[in-house]
Structure 1
Amino acid sequence: MSEPVLRAPDFDKPFLVTTDASERGVGAVLMQEGPDQEFHPVVFLSKKLSEKESNWSVSEKECYAIVYTLEKLRPYVWGWHFHLQTDHAALQWLHTTTGNNKKLIRWNKLSKILI
């Protein structure tokens, strides 16, 4: 018999949240490091983007992936230490910018509330 695909969460260990976006959807994985020093999935998430959402910029889609994920994973990450990983380096400025993209600024404020 093989090991299960998903692992039960251990709230004594930090989580790793990885997000990504594509033209048509967003996805995420909540993981934790196991005794073998490998990261194992706890939760998988995905969502198909609507036609309107599919027309967003790459940065908006990547940011939405984070916001969507943190909302869905709130029971796992609220009040617990976790690391957030995205492959979209342009989003790093979100925590320090005042910018002019109202959607990204609103999501940035929301993500700070969720974290």
Structure 2
Amino acid sequence: MTSLDAVTAWIANYRKAWESNDPRHIADLFAEDAAYFTEPYAKPWLGRAAIVEQWLKIKDDPGTTTFEWHPLIVTDDLAIIAAKTVYPDDTYSNLWILRLDNLGQARQFTEWWMKHPA
């Protein structure tokens, strides 16, 4: 069940995991059988353990990003989020598709990210 409150809490916890790279923080975000698509047509990371493992392979160093977001659509079934991530040398626009379960964990998460021109 998705709601604006659930989405806001999930994104706050996502940022906590992003900044800590703590496997427990990452795992808490996702349902046991979740699918994480790093790009819309990429093969997804399937299952909580695989998501944690793959996340840690490409993690960002804590304190290297800023992140702003706002919801575009929030329904009972999904949320679509627009965001901007700023790294020291690059900026990205993001579009996230998020489907939460009744516990507030992602059962499906898809990232669309576009690098801003230099």
The answer, yes or no, to whether TM exceeds 0.5 is no
More helix by share: 1
TM-score of the pair, normalised by structure 2: 0.29
